[in-house]
Structure 1
Amino acid sequence: MILREAQKLILRYGYQKVTMTDIAKACQISRTTLYKSYPNKESIIVGLINEALEVNVKESEKLLMEHGTLKEKLVSFFDIWTIQPAASVIELEAGRDILMNVATYAPDAVAHHYEVFENMLTRLIEKEVKDEKHILSDDLAHILMVASKGLKASAESIDDLKRMINSLIAIVVAAVD
């Protein structure tokens, strides 16, 4: 409940403007009770990031077990990790702030999120890319992770982000075929 209410407030007003008092009021709890669960706003952002991470890992584990082409798997992977999360916030003024600045609000949690993203992507690529292509799966996963960060930060709309991610996937598929 606390995370949901905090998320609503942050997406509506922005991280900088929302206070712990605002969150406690929205949850109809005392600030003391709130501080027992979350000592500061960063811990709330960390909680939200960790929830998303858990969902993304579960979905990615399923994806690793599925049959399909590299392109199909990459489309699904980027939908899970990039498109769906961005779609929920990209059109909101405060959501753009989150996309652009979340790494400054909770740097360790964001770094861990991208580390897991890259590891899951490496596993996906390893299953699909043949060794004789001389393309290292972990290098390719790292390049894709860095590119996805930049695309997410620069996209003006969700359609813009989808188009750029699809172009990125097309480049990768062409390179490994």
Structure 2
Amino acid sequence: MARISAEQRKKIHETLLNKSKELFIQYGFSKTSIDDIVNACGIAKGSFYSYYPSKEELFYAVLRREEEIKNKIISEVMSESLPPKELLMRFFEISFKAIEENEFLQNLYQRGEYEKIVKRLPKELIDEHAKEDLESSLEFVKFLQEKGVTEEDPEIVIGLFRMIMLLPLHRQEIGEQTFLKTMKKMIESLSNDLTQHK
């Protein structure tokens, strides 16, 4: 059997990520099998394991790729020339919209599968992700502090950002009619509080 080229391998990997994402959105992690994934990709089951040792690690790769939107948002906000409060509100608004439009992240949290998947992942993957997430978040908070946005402890600021980012995933629980008004009010209040230095 002829060996596949690096280009072909890259193409298969991209198909694997795209097709599995579609299946995870449609059926959820638990109801999507490795057989479903390889059939959708048109590859042998053995080929799957040459890319990922488990369905959990494939899911994690899809998740990491979806979470790259965070770094794009940070880059976009850092390139803007706005007063402190407007800069912060812009960050929240862009982030809010990105999460609202991301079907994969919406389904992941609404189905309550995240914790279950994370428990099955190797500890080093989780630790690496946490470290990278903290580093990029700290870099952004430092940028905000240099712009005069906040004097708060960076850990508190990062915690507040995470809290706001998770709210769109609980839209139905909060209530469709009041959600947008509540979200707008929270973003405005938080932006005011973080830009009012003592």
TM-score, normalised with respect to structure 2: 0.68
- Identity rate of aligned residues, in percent? 16
User: Which residues of 2 match residues 66-145 of structure 1 at below 5 A?
Assistant: 66-89=80-103, 96-97=110-111, 100-106=112-118, 108=126, 111=130, 114-115=133-134, 118-129=137-148, 135-145=151-161
> What secondary structure is seen at the aligned counterpart in 2 of 1:18?
coil
| 1:62 lines up with 2:111 in the alignment | no
TM alignment of 1:19-30, pairs within 5 A:
19-30=33-44
- Deviations, residues 2-21 of structure 1 (Å, cap 9, x unaligned): 11110110111111110111
State whether residues 100 and 106 of structure 2, in contact with CA within 8 Å, keep that contact through their aligned partners in structure 1.
no
| 8 Å CA contact 2:88, 2:149 repeated in 1 | no
Native 8 Å contact 2:95 2:165 kept in 1: no
CA, structure 1 residues 21+34, in 2 after alignment: closer, same or farther (shift >3 Å)?
same
Q: How does 1:31-46 map to 2 (within 5 A)?
A: 31-46=45-60
- Alignment match, 2:17: 3
Provide the residue aligned with 2:163 in structure 1: 147
Check the 8 A contact 1:71/1:173 in 2, yes or no. yes
SS of residue matched to 2:67: helix
- Whichever residue aligns with residue 83 of structure 2, its letter is T
Number of matched pairs: 172
**Which residue in 2 is equivalent to 1:167?**
185
Is the contact between residue 155 and residue 161 of structure 1 (CA under 8 Å) also seen in structure 2? yes
Deviation track 1:35-73 (CA, whole Å, cap 9, x = no partner) reads 111221221222122213334313412321320133433
Structure 1 CA distance, aligned partners of 2:68 and 2:108?
A: 24
Q: Is the 8 A contact 1:75 1:166 kept in 2?
A: no
Q: In 2 relative to 1, CA 28–130 (structure 1 residues): closer, same or farther, beyond 3 Å?
A: closer
**Structure 1 stretch displaced more, 86-95 or 57-66:** 86-95
Segment drifting more, 59-68 vs 160-169: 160-169
Distance 1:113 1:161 in 2: 31
Do the aligned partners of 1:121 and 1:141 also contact (CA within 8 Å) in 2?
A: no
- After the TM superposition, which parts of structure 1 deviate over 6 Å for at least 4 consecutive aligned residues? 90-95, 157-160
| Residue identity opposite 2:170 in structure 1 | S
Q: TM-score, normalised by structure 1?
A: 0.74
Displacement after TM superposition at 1:112 (Å): 5.2
Change (3 A) 1:27 1:155: same
Q: What secondary structure, in the 3-state scheme, does the structure 1 residue paired with 2:58 have? A: helix
Supply the RMSD in Å over aligned alpha carbons: 3.4
| Structure 1: 5+ residue stretches without partners | none
Segments of structure 2 that go 5 or more residues without pairing to the other structure are 1-14, 120-125
Larger displacement relative to structure 2 (14-23 or 145-154) = 145-154
Task: Output the CA distance in 2 between the equivalents of 1:159 and 1:40.
Answer: 41
- Bigger radius of gyration: 2
Stretch of structure 1 that moved more, 15-24 or 78-87: 78-87
| Structure-2 change in CA distance of 1:23 and 1:147 (3 Å) | same
